[in-house]
A and B are shown apart, each in its own frame.
Chain A
Amino acid sequence: MGMTMTQKILAAHAGLDRVEAGQLIEAKLDVVLGNDITSPVAINEFEKCGACSVFDNQRIALVMDHFTPNKDIKAAEQCRQVRGFADKYDIKNFFDVGQMGIEHALLPEQGIVGPGDCIIGADSHTCTYGALGAFSTGVGSTDMACGMISGKAWFKVPSAIKVELIGALQPFVSGKDVILHLIGKIGVDGALYRSLEFTGEGVKSLSMDDRLCIANMAIEGGAKNGIFPVDDVTLAYCKDRFQREPKIYVADEDAVYDETITIDLSSLRPTIAFPHLPENTHTIDEIAPGQIKIDQVVIGSCTNGRLEDLEVTAKILKENKVAKNVRCIIIPGTQSIYLEAVRRGWVEIFVEAGAVFSTPTCGPCLGGHMGILGKGERAVSTTNRNFVGRMGHIESEIYLSSPAVAAASALTGYITDPTH
């Protein structure tokens, strides 16, 4: 009986020839990640248990991205605590305002994570790095603390759902539509405790930005991780970027999957998740023009704050105006994406259209700052969760979409088909 791609990476990091679903293993970690919200809890645990060193000061990443630039005094104190810790233990990958980006946009871009890695992060969207062919999963702060001390974590080896992708996406349809379609199909706990392994000839047509977006939301289907095979697209992305040698793991021919789901990429339409769960999906064709009025648009986050996301936004907003009474907030994932948007003239397009362009931050995605919703307000957002109260008031509503749908909706004030 063969192993899935995830199982092969876990076996290699546990020093075992083979593992099987359900087995408990202890694996060596390549990278341990935390942010300004989860790291303080981990640092408290780290200090309480009397630890006085980290396993490797090059393999820990601390990113101040959630409530930064500091939204209030308490947020400032949390960052101050993490800054002090990074300084004390000489953490090489500490990213503060000015260098920081949204962690899951930043770590792949900076080449801190790459193919074949085993990664834990105290942030649920750590599963993003599966796009690079890594095993990567979200954990809590205690696991982060233990990981920083020992460089190890225990895992229950997951079984997997195989997601076979065929065909290629139509214009204005993107990775976000693929993952929303899949979550709509399996539900928010459809992949609970399991891996989502993406495969098939359709993979090669997907850009790295699309893959990162798809893997990012594996958690929204309950998955432990989402993972893509390593191909020329991955290696081209990692070239001159990834700080170590890529290790390529391939699922065995006879790997066992709990089930196989086939998605024809060419058949997908712009897809929107209605409040208050990412599984409440509808295609744009099910929504009449002028049916769903909006107050705010957010384009950004670890899901959709990358270059291609801003590119399609600029294409749609160019020489157009954001509708009256709509606030359009655009947030790049990292400083280098920000700079590129400036250089390519997109920022000028955004500002002339009447949108605002922010420094990188998770900000409104989790109702932190930079675009909180009031009572009864409705947003179209390229973020990843639309739970009750996620972006503000408990009577506000979030519709999750791709950047193309969000940008088109910003122009009309209603949820709008970008292909029109």
Chain B
Amino acid sequence: MNAHGTVHKYGDNVDTDVIIPARYLNTASHQELAAHCMEDIDKDFVKNVKNGDIIVANKNFGCGSSREHAPIAIKASGISCVIASTFARIFYRNAINIGLAILECDQAAQEIRGGDEVRVDFDTGVIENVTTGKTYQAQPFPPFIQNIVTKGGLLKSIEK
């Protein structure tokens, strides 16, 4: 499984309230949630994001609320992968469970800039910044986690 896209870059402690503000949690519709993704931290995100794009952020991405609406909004907006120095634990678990690919890699998170073109190989954990030519090694997920993400989420992975 691979991802290839343009980077949207954010800093430390991007919380779930800015990823999807609670005022929009009166719906579980993926498309409605995607329409407000990142609204309180980057009002142009929805306008600029293209299918396959990648979010890169620093430490503790997704901290705060347990709302699964946050990774759902990101995935439904077209983002193929989130790379961060670290993830808050509930977001980490939720992202895997709904089939949003994520990777932890501090050096990549520090060095990659907004607008860079990045390619990710989930089998090997290699992150390549096509713009700068630099590559980074993240810890790839074990096959059973990759299977969940590839199938599109935990429940889809256990469906008979």
Contact = CB atoms under 8 A, between A and B. Distances in A.
Considering residues B63, B71, B94, which has the most beta carbons from chain A within 10 angstroms of its beta carbon? B63
Contacts of B93: 139-140, 143
Interface string B22-38: 11011110000000000
A31 interface: no
A38 B60 contact: no
Given A78-B26, A143-B94, 18 more contacts: A37-B26, A41-B68, A67-B26, A74-B26, A121-B66, A123-B65, A124-B90, A140-B66, A142-B153, A143-B97, A189-B86, A193-B89, A219-B90, A222-B60, A367-B22, A387-B15, A387-B18, A389-B18
Interface of A: 37-38, 40-41, 44-45, 48-50, 66-67, 71-72, 74-75, 78, 121-124, 126, 138-143, 145-146, 188-189, 192-193, 219, 222, 224, 277, 366-368, 385, 387-390, 394
Given A49-B159, A124-B65, A140-B94, A388 B17 contact: yes
A78 B93 CA distance: 24
B26 A387 contact: no
30 contacts: A37-B25, A37-B26, A37-B69, A44-B28, A48-B155, A50-B159, A67-B25, A67-B26, A72-B26, A78-B27, A122-B68, A124-B65, A138-B66, A138-B90, A140-B94, A140-B97, A142-B97, A142-B154, A142-B155, A143-B94, A146-B154, A188-B63, A192-B86, A277-B13, A366-B25, A367-B21, A387-B64, A388-B17, A389-B21, A389-B40
A385 B90 contact: no
B9 interface: no
B1 interface: no
Interface of B: 13, 15, 17-18, 21-23, 25-28, 40-41, 59-60, 63-69, 71-72, 86, 88-90, 93-94, 97-98, 153-156, 158-159
A108 to B, nearest CB: 19
A389 to B, nearest CB: 4
Contacts of A75: 26
Given A41-B68, A389-B21, A74 B13 contact: no
Nearest to A150: B158
B155 A49 contact: yes
Contacts of B153: 142
A124 B139 CA distance: 27
Contacts of B155: 45, 48-49, 142, 145-146
A389 B158 contact: no
B156 to A, nearest CB: 8
Contacts of A38: 66-68
A385 to B, nearest CB: 6
A367 B66 contact: no
A138 B67 CA distance: 10
Contacts, number: 126
B13 A385 contact: no
Given A192-B89, A222-B88, A389 B66 contact: no
A121 B90 CA distance: 11
Nearest to B89: A193
Contacts of A41: 28, 68-69, 72
Which 4 A-B pairs rank lowest in CB-CB distance, beginning with the nearest?
A140-B94, A74-B26, A140-B68, A142-B97
Given A67-B26, A142-B155, A367-B22, A388 B94 contact: no
A101 to B, nearest CB: 19
A27 to B, nearest CB: 14
Contacts of A387: 15, 17-18, 64
A320 to B, nearest CB: 33
A210 B60 CA distance: 27
Considering residues A48, A67, A394, which has the most beta carbons from chain B within 10 angstroms of its beta carbon? A394
Contacts of A138: 66, 90
Contacts of A71: 26
Contacts of B68: 38, 41, 122, 140-142
Nearest to A277: B13
Contacts of B23: 367-368
Given A142-B97, A394-B40, A388 B159 contact: no
B22 A222 contact: no
Nearest to B97: A142
Given A193-B89, A367-B23, A385 B154 contact: no
Contact of A366 (B13, B65, B86, B159): B65
A122 B18 CA distance: 19
Nearest to A43: B28
A388 B60 contact: no
Given A48-B155, A388-B18, A37 B67 contact: yes
Contacts of A50: 159
A124 B64 contact: yes
Contacts of A40: 28
A120 B99 CA distance: 21
